[in-house]
Amino acid sequence: MEAQIEQQLEKILPEDLARTFESAYHVFQGDHDRMDDLLKNGGILLRKVAKKLSPTQTILGIAAIAAVAVILVNRATDDDHEGEAQDVSKQQLGGKDKGQDKK
């Protein structure tokens, strides 16, 4: 019975993934109070994955996750500037002033 419970604890369950992604989503949305949950859930998931995969596979998996995280953060910061108003009045006024001076 104990061996079965211990074996169940070492399996990567869908709930482990769901908790980790949910925590990551909340942190990404700006709820930085969930950072502790993300580190805890990510650590549990990482420990379980490390027992199942070889060291090379684990390192490559972590590198892939880090690359995706960097891309997502980069896109999120680019999207923040996409809807911003920009001051182009100097360019427009300069062009209009020159045209008005000629008249």
**Residue at 46 is within a domain:** yes
Domain encompassing residue 73: 2-81
**Residue at 13 is within a domain:** yes
Q: Kindly list the distances between the CA atom of residue 90 and the CA atoms of 86, 97, 103, in Å, as whole numbers in the listed order.
A: 11, 10, 20
Q: What pLDDT does 85 receive?
A: 59
Q: Is 87 left (phi over 0), alpha (psi -120 to 50) or beta?
A: beta
- How many Cβ atoms sit within 10 Å of the Cβ of residue 23? 20
Tell me which of 49 and 85 has the higher pLDDT: 49
pTM: 0.55
Q: Per the structure, how many domains does the chain have?
A: 1
**Residue at 68 is within a domain:** yes
Reference 41, options 14, 66, 67; nearest CA is 14
Examine the pLDDT at 92 and tell me if it is beyond 60.
no
**Residue at 12 is within a domain:** yes
**Residue at 86 is within a domain:** no
**Residue at 95 is within a domain:** no
**Residue at 89 is within a domain:** no
Provide the strand spans (E) within the chain: none
Q: What pLDDT does 56 receive?
A: 92
